[in-house]
Amino acid sequence: MNNRFDLLIFDWDGTLIDSIDWITHCLQTAAERCGCDVPERQAAKNVIGLSIQKATSTLHPEVDAQTLEQLVQHYSREYLSKKLSRNDLFPDVVDMLVELKQAGYQLAVATGKTRHGLQQALQSTETEDLFSVTRCADETASKPEPKMLLEIMQLTNCPPERSLMVGDSIHDLQMASNAHISSVAVYCGAHSKDTLQHYEPLLCLAHATELLAYLR
């Protein structure tokens, strides 16, 4: 993989930051407060990475539009009640990002979060300056549609063959495939190693920081 890529695009939740348990809790709490069936843990994890609107409609296909909006509101309120810091990032993530940026890679984030949610997370973890561009689900199409990756590549002037997506969910890997770019899976987040390997990533790593060994 040495010298193969110029642009490294990271998912946020479950890839760079250890947030899957918290998101699962927030999805379950929103359902409980709205009087909906509370999703099982893996069912909740399965929708992480999608936009919150798509995630809630997937978990609760039977409810009306008003209830879906209430689910989104309760989720957002609960999620934002937790103050983030650099300690919430997986170990050594900042050091990895700094090393990659200093090595000349362009770094980006492609996330199912809202712009407000991502900006708060970037500021709280003091990582905003490490990324050339970030794209969120409420300003483009939700994963697994490829639009946010296509926009990132356009903004960074990087072709698909020089771009790499790094993510922890099947939605990340499907999005990369739909955008015709390579992917690396990490199994520290939403989906297991066995599940992720079905999508044929170049590598399947325990944590994103292991990527450094392959890029040096």
In a domain, 2, yes or no: no
Give how many domains the chain has, as a whole number: 2
Q: At what angle do helices 52-59 and 65-80 cross, to 10 degrees?
A: 120
Is residue 26 a part of any domain in this protein? yes
CATH code of 56's domain? 1.10.150
Q: CA separation (Å) from 140 to 24, 59, 209?
A: 24, 21, 28
Q: Cβ(100)–Cβ(215) under 8 Å?
A: yes
Q: How far apart are CA 90 and CA 19, in angstroms?
A: 9
Are residue 119 and residue 195 in the same domain, yes or no? yes
Kindly state the percentage of the chain with pLDDT values over 70: 99
105 is a domain residue? yes
Does the pTM surpass 0.85? The reply is yes
Q: Which residues pair with 108 in a beta bridge?
A: 9, 133
Identify the CATH number of the domain in which residue 131 sits.
Answer: 3.40.50.1000
Note whether 181 and 164 are within 8 A (CB). yes
Same domain, 166 and 201: yes
| Alpha-carbon distances of 18 from 102, 131, 159, rounded to whole Å | 24, 19, 30
- Express each pLDDT in 133-166 by its tens digit: 999 999 999 899 999 999 999 999 999 999 999 9
Count other Cβ atoms within 10 Å, centred on residue 55.
25
State the SS3 of 133-195.
Answer: EEEECCCCCCCCCCHHHHHHHHHHCCCHHHEEEEECCHHHHHHHHHCCCEEEEECCCCCCHHH
Tell me: do 104 and 132 sit in the same domain: yes
pLDDT score of 1: 61
Question: Taking residues 168-187, what's their average pLDDT?
Answer: 95
| Amino acid identity at 62 | E
Q: Are residues 144 and 68 in the same domain?
A: no
User: 207: which residues sit within 8 A by CB, 6+ positions away?
Assistant: 90, 91, 186, 188
Residue 11 is part of which domain span?
7-17+88-215
* Beta carbons within 8 Å of 66's beta carbon, 6+ residues apart: none
**Residue 144 shares a structural domain with residue 75:** no
Residues 93 and 197 in one domain: yes
pLDDT at 2 over 70: no
- CB-neighbour burial class of residue 93 (10 A; exposed 0-12, middle 13-18, buried 19+): buried
> At CA 47, angle to CA 196 and CA 125, rounded to 5?
85
Buried-state track 156-178, b at ≥16 Cβ within 10 A, e below 16: bebebebbbbbbbbbbbbbbbbe
Mean predicted lDDT score pLDDT of the chain:
92
Question: What's the pLDDT tens digit per position in 38-54?
Answer: 999 999 988 988 888 88
Span 60-116, pLDDT tens digits:
988 898 998 999 999 988 988 888 889 999 999 999 999 999 999 999 999 998 898
Domain identity same for 177 and 92:
yes
Domain presence at residue 1: no
Last-in-domain residue among 30, 63, 80: 80
28 and 121 inside one domain: no
pLDDT value for 52: 86
Report if residue 69 sits inside a domain: yes
Q: Which of 61, 80, 99 is the last residue of a domain?
A: 80
